[in-house]
Structures are given as structure tokens and as C-alpha cells.
């Protein structure tokens, strides 16, 4: 390959810089790629940070045994594993490839293709994306795209990934999301990904559908079936506690109801029933807060629940 041109950094984050490169292949084909390069010394800095976090988690455990319900040490290890995977761009290319395969039939979402031949531990080469970042609503409207349709695509794409596939982009902030010329949502930066097992996927889907249908008994039963709430507690008492979260949201307009906040309140109430933090859901909860914010920035009146229902129903069916 011959690098015809290599731009100054287009984007810079704490661990890497991204450049736009024009590449001439041996057969004369010219391609435009995004080249992501690891900053020097990043791994060492992250290791120091993680050691501090591990120490603080041990301190919290020692000083406040009740805090162990939140499992701070396990949460830190989840973060550590995520960070170490983010430090190897070959694994990011693999995540990009897997997500592309999972979403290949989704009309409103796509993923750039990695260039495996030019990718190594510290360098990631992938298809260059021409598009408008989702945090530039004025440019989106000026280009003739529908912000409301994009907002719906953001929430439905995330839920399809989480519930249908069990593998989701866990860093879906506006800087990592574009709309291309065809109006398709395109994601970049796959260093942070989340996985859910079949039980967690069913758990999430049943909870969302239960709140949509006001079937609080079903939401409670799912917690017990998953083993999240100890069996010595009463399903009916737990359903009553969940009703205290669900009923107020049905008294409000749909665009005022935060799905992420409902899940946060749900996890708060579980403390009364000895439910420990589910580390496998930590990444999901964090991402859902961000995704909801992005979707609502595009369409402030977006009804998250109506948007979620077809994805949830089709998978449960």
C-alpha cells in the first residue's frame, strides 16, 4: 500500500488519535480510510488508575459492609476488563465486524468495515464515514434528514443490539454517531462494548414490556425467576414496590418519562429486597442513559416506550 495523504488528527480522545488517510493499493485502487493510532504510555496510565480504583473498592468494602450489595470490587473488574479490551485495536476491529454481522439486515443502522490487513494492536484501519454527527441538529435538518426518525432509530438500534443480539455498542454518545447521505445511522468507535446473556436479555425485555403493559406482577416474577431477588421474599410485596415506580409514569405525558430513570428507580427499590448489583447490567444501564439523551436531543417529544415496544414484543414473541 502507498499512503497518498495522511491528515492531521480529525479526532483526539484520551487513548488515541484518528486520522483521515488516502491509500493507493497495488492495483491502483484509491481508498479513504480512518486510521486510529494509540497514544504512547496509555496502557501504563490506565494500569495506575485501575490500581487506585481497586484500592478504593477494597476500602469501601472494609469500611461499609452494607455497601457490598453494590459489589464495588466486581464493578471495578468489569471496568478493568473493558479497558484492557479497548487497549487492543485488533479486538475493536473484531467488535466492529461482529456488530456489522448482527445488524446487516437493519435498514436504519450500519457499521463501517475494518481493514484487517492494516490493523494491528496499536493501529486500527477502517472505512471512512462521511456524515453529520448527531450533535449537530441544525446541520441534520439543513441536509434534509428527519431528526425524529433518527431519534427513533437511535433507541431502536440500541434495543435491537441489546435484546435481540446480546451485543451492543456501549459508547453511543453523539460524537460516535453519524447520519450519512442516505439518512442511515452510522456508529463508530467500538472500543467499549457490552454483552448480555440470554437470561439478562429476557430480563430486560420482560421488564420493559411489563412497564408498558402495567403488568407489575410479571416484572416481579421475572426478578425471582432470574434469581436476582432471594426466594424468601414475597413476589406480591415486590410487585407492590414496583407498582410504586410504574403507576406515576402512566400519569405523565410519554415524552416526559425517562426509561433510564425508571430502571434506575427499579434498581434502587431492589435494595429493600436484598438484590445485589448485577454487574452484567452495569454497562447496559450506563449506555441506556446516554442513548436516551441522544434520542431526546433529536426529538424532545420522543415517546421512548412506544418506540421500544415493537422491538421488545417481536423478540419476546
- Could you tell me if 236 and 273 are in contact, meaning their C-beta atoms sit under 8 angstroms apart? no
Cell numbers that stand for 301 in this block: 417529544
Integer Cα distance of 250 and 70 in angstroms: 29
3-state secondary structure 4-68: EEECCCCEECCCEEEEEEEEECCCCCEEEEEEEEECCCHHHHHHHHHHHHHHHHHHHHHHCHHHH
Is 165 catalytic? The answer is no
Q: Are strands 2-6 and 16-24 parallel, antiparallel or unpaired?
A: antiparallel
Grid coordinates given for 254: 410519554
| Torsional sign, CA 200, 201, 205, 208 | positive
Closest CA to 184 of 142, 149, 138: 149
Which residue among the candidates 74, 115, 146, 171 is catalytic per the annotation?
Answer: 171
Catalytically active residues are: 171
Amino acid at each position: 500500500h502507498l499512503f497518498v495523504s495522511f491528515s492531521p488528527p480529525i479526532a483526539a480522545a484520551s487513548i488515541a488519535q484518528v486520522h483521515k488517510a488516502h491509500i493507493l493499493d497495488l492495483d491502483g485502487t484509491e481508498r479513504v480510510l480512518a486510521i486510529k493510532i494509540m497514544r504512547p504510555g496509555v496502557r501504563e496510565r490506565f494500569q495506575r488508575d485501575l490500581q487506585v480504583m481497586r484500592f478504593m473498592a477494597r476500602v469501601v468494602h472494609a469500611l461499609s459492609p452494607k455497601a457490598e450489595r453494590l459489589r464495588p470490587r466486581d464493578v471495578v473488574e468489569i471496568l478493568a476488563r473493558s479497558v484492557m479490551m479497548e487497549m487492543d485495536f485488533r479486538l475493536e476491529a473484531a467488535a466492529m465486524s461482529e456488530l456489522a454481522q448482527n445488524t446487516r439486515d437493519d435498514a436504519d443502522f450500519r457499521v463501517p468495515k475494518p481493514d484487517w490487513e492494516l490493523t494491528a494492536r496499536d493501529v486500527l484501519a477502517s472505512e471512512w464515514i462521511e456524515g453529520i454527527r448527531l450533535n449537530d441538529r441544525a446541520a441534520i435538518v439543513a441536509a434534509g434528514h428527519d431528526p425524529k426518525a433518527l431519534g427513533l432509530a437511535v433507541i431502536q438500534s440500541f434495543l435491537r443490539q441489546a435484546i435481540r443480539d446480546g451485543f451492543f455498542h456501549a459508547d453511543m454518545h453523539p460524537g460516535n454517531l453519524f447520519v450519512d447521505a442516505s439518512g442511515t445511522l452510522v456508529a463508530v468507535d467500538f472500543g467499549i462494548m457490552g454483552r448480555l446473556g440470554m437470561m439478562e436479555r429476557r430480563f430486560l425485555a420482560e421488564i420493559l414490556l411489563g412497564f408498558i403493559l402495567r403488568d407489575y406482577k410479571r416484572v416481579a416474577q421475572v426478578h425471582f425467576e432470574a434469581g436476582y431477588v432471594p426466594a424468601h421474599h414475597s413476589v406480591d410485596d415486590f410487585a407492590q414496590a414496583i407498582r410504586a415506580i410504574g403507576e406515576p409514569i402512566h400519569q405523565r405525558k410519554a415524552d416526559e418519562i425517562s426509561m433510564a430513570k425508571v430502571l434506575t428507580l427499579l434498581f434502587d427499590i431492589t435494595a429493600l429486597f436484598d438484590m445485589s448489583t448485577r454487574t452484567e447490567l452495569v454497562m447496559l444501564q450506563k449506555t441506556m442513559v446516554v442513548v436516551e439523551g441522544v434520542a431526546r436531543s433529536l426529538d424532545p417529544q420522543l415517546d421512548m416506550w412506544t418506540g421500544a415496544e415493537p422491538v421488545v414484543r417481536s423478540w419476546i414473541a
